[in-house]
């Protein structure tokens, strides 16, 4: 049922936040992982014969926590599937007949992710927690574990050719991140059946992701060697770039198991890519022709296909994420799950792309006008995404609509350092975190005010995780915002570097510098050390189980502001990790943030 805008509450905004991931297609139908905020669990759904049913029994949630951000949490396996159970991080097998899942692993000190299945064996990234955290690629059966690759710092995307003769994967070492420098590796089976020596296919100061084999055993991969994540592959005996749009064909690989492109044959592929921040979907043939699909959607991911259909998780400015099937001949789109309207179309604020001068460059984002009030006098909420090597997308976000229904305009920013605009734009944040992103946030307010779209005296800034850091820096070092909200945000980057997990262990060195050699730079960009410069109110939200930004950081910042006589408010959630997931907590945070800003505006 559609809800009038006036009744669109925080609870309803959160309830509309159902999301989908890891779409798979096999002989038994279509499968996907579905997250529902109502209970914070992830469950596998199976669609066949025009009906969908949930396969995940109560007590299970399908989610990997490898590298803390997980991904690749299930795969199809013959007449069943294999998945990672969130609670114990072990691998389970499950038949499609409704029988209970059975554990395949019993390694309490290990996590698993990025699972693939071939000929009775599960390929996986294994994360072993001992004195040091170690990663390797393994092959698993019910009674055997085979190490497929080890020695590198990190692994991702184990992929077998259709005949099982070639194995490919991505690896990288500290201090690199998967979006800076990685290697594409491969092994081949010997006549004896044993794996031969590993050899490097590509590694030229590039980020590689999503390796794929076609049916003839040729290997392909996305590489940003030429400035964008584009398909490369073995063509005519040479490793070369395939014809492609000058655009990113993937986002930063924060999570395992992404599927934004599929190799179909010599120089032909199905892919999604970004044009001015908007997602496109097309099948590019070897002759360079592109057949486009699903033009009504602006973000498309988790691609899969069979002989007659293309499948994707897709969203648009007027519809939330949905699992869609597209007829390859007629281009007709069917919605298999999700995509339900949450507001009448007339009440939805649509994203307007913005590009504006900031510092020494140009920044990008999307502007959502307020649905109430007078143009030019609207207060503004600037959204800063996390990462910071991440992105925002021009799709229906119920949280944004929550604000626009209440008379706030929203600027959702892809500040310099965000993905979707090429490697150079992504690297603009190198050693400049806390500067470029802050410049872009402040410049967005000036840009929108100059166009008469908002009241610059009523601008607020908010962000989660890395976005919380940008928020706190903007409040400490600039005089632009009336107040702000930090959701599990970084207030002490040096302390974060000491306490964070292996995956991000060197990330701050790239973003700011070496903590010892560049100690002064850290001091200059640590909001906690400059809490006295914050003169406006701040509200904080924090999970007590957060292993990325530990709760002590937030408490220290909150206490420092209160000690300086600044209005500050903190909300801590006992059973949340990094990023709020439970519906009640999400709704509470959204409503408390709105009330906080209303008080500051005297409403």
Q: What is the pLDDT of residues 247-295, one digit of tens each?
A: 999 999 999 999 999 999 888 999 999 998 999 999 999 888 999 999 9
- Asked if 551 contacts 544 with a C-beta cutoff of 8 angstroms, the reply is yes
Mean pLDDT along residues 65-72:
96
Task: Look at 57-61, 141-145, 264-268, 597-601 and tell me which has the smallest mean pLDDT.
Answer: 264-268
Alpha carbons 319 and 115: distance in angstroms, whole number: 30
Mean pLDDT along residues 548-552:
86
Longest distance between any two alpha carbons in the chain, whole Å = 77
CA dihedral 559, 533, 472, 469 (to 10 degrees): -90
User: Residues of 347-375 as b/e, b for ≥16 C-beta within 10 angstroms?
Assistant: bbbebeebebebbeeebbbbbbbbbebee
Radius of gyration, CA atoms only, the chain: 24
Q: What is the 8-class DSSP label of residue 488? A: S
Alpha carbons 5 and 346: distance in angstroms, whole number: 10
374 pLDDT band, cuts 50/70/90, is low
| Residue 447 tokens, joined | 């840009």
How many CB atoms lie under 10 A from the CB of residue 58?
9
Using CA atoms, how far residue 32 sits from 259, 355, 370, 371, 533, in Å, is 13, 35, 35, 35, 48
User: Residues of 296-310 as b/e, b for ≥16 C-beta within 10 angstroms?
Assistant: ebbbbbbbbbeeebb
Model confidence at 351: pLDDT above 70 = yes
Model confidence at 4: pLDDT above 50 = no
pTM for the model stands at 0.94
- Asked if 358 contacts 439 with a C-beta cutoff of 8 angstroms, the reply is yes
- Asked if 379 contacts 40 with a C-beta cutoff of 8 angstroms, the reply is no
The residues that bridge with 328 in the sheet, in sequence order, are none
Q: What is the pLDDT of residues 572-597, one digit of tens each?
A: 999 998 889 888 999 999 999 999 99
The residues that bridge with 34 in the sheet, in sequence order, are 20, 43
Alpha carbons 209 and 148: distance in angstroms, whole number: 19
Domain boundaries, the chain: 345-600
What percent of the chain is modeled with pLDDT above 90? 88
pLDDT given for residue 62 in this prediction: 98
Residue found by looking up tokens 């300086």 in the block: 564
Task: Look at 232-236, 319-323, 479-483 and tell me which has the smallest mean pLDDT.
Answer: 232-236
The runs of H, that is alpha helices, within 353-481 are: 398-404, 423-427, 436-450, 466-477
Model confidence at 3: pLDDT above 70 = no
Tell me which CATH code domain 345-600 carries.
3.40.50.1820
């Amino acid at each position: 049922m559609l809800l009038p805008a006036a009744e669109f509450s925080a609870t309803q905004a959160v309830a509309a936040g159902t999301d989908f991931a890891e779409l798979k297609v096999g002989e038994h139908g279509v499968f996907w992982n579905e997250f529902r905020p109502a209970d914070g669990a992830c469950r596998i759904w199976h669609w066949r014969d025009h009906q969908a049913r949930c396969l995940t029994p109560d007590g299970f949630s399908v989610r990997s926590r490898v590298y803390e951000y997980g991904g690749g949490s299930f795969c199809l396996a013959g007449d069943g599937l294999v998945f990672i159970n969130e609670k114990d991080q072990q691998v389970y097998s499950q038949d499609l007949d409704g029988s209970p899942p059975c554990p395949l692993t019993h390694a309490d000190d290990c996590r698993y992710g990025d699972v693939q299945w071939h000929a009775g064996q599960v390929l996986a990234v294994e994360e072993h927690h001992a004195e040091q955290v170690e990663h390797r690629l393994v092959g698993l059966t019910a009674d055997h574990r085979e190490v497929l690759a080890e020695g590198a710092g990190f692994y991702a995307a184990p992929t077998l050719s259709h005949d099982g003769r070639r194995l490919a994967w991505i690896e990288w070492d500290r201090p690199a991140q998967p979006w800076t420098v990685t290697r594409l590796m491969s092994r081949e089976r010997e006549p004896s059946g044993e794996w031969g020596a590993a050899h490097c296919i590509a590694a030229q100061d590039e980020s590689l992701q999503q390796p794929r084999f076609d049916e003839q055993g040729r290997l392909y991969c996305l590489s940003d060697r030429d400035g964008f994540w584009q398909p490369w592959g073995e063509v005519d005996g040479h490793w070369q770039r395939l014809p492609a749009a000058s655009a990113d064909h993937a986002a930063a690989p924060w999570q395992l198991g992404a599927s934004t492109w599929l190799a179909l044959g010599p120089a032909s592929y199905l892919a999604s890519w970004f044009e001015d921040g908007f997602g496109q979907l097309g099948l590019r043939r070897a002759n360079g022709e592109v057949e486009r699909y699903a033009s009504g959607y602006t973000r498309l991911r988790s691609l899969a296909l069979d002989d007659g259909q293309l499948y994707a998780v897709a969203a648009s400015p007027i519809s939330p994420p949905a699992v869609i099937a597209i007829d390859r001949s007629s281009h007709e789109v069917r919605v298999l799950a999700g995509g339900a309207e949450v507001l009448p179309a007339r009440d939805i604020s649509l994203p307007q792309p913005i590009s504006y001068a900031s510092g020494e460059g140009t920044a990008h984002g999307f502007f959502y006008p307020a649905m109430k009030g007078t143009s030019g006098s609207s207060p503004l909420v600037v959204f800063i995404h996390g990462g910071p090597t991440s992105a925002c997308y021009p799709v229906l976000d119920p949280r944004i609509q929550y604000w626009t229904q209440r008379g706030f305009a929203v600027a959702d920013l892809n500040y310099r350092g965000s993905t979707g605009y090429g490697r150079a734009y992504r690297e603009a944040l190198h050693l400049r975190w806390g500067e470029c992103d802050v410049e872009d946030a402040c410049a967005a307010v000036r840009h929108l005010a100059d166009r008469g779209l908002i009241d610059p005296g009523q601008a607020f800034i908010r962000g989660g995780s890395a976005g919380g850091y940008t928020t706190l820096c903007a409040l400490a070092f600039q005089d632009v915002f009336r107040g702000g909200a930090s959701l599990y945000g970084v207030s002490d980057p040096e302390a974060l570097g000491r306490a964070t997990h292996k995956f991000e262990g060197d990330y701050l060195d790239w973003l700011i510098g070496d903590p010892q050699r560049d100690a002064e730079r850290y001091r200059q960009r640590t909001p906690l050390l400059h809490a006295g410069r914050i003169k406006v109110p701040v509200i904080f939200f924090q999970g007590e189980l957060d292993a990325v930004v530990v709760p002590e950081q937030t408490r220290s910042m909150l206490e420092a502001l209160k000690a300086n006589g600044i209005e500050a408010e903190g909300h801590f959630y006992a059973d949340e990790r990094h990023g709020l997931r439970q519906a009640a907590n999400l709704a509470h945070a959204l409503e408390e943030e709105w009330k906080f800003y209303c008080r500051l505006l005297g409403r």
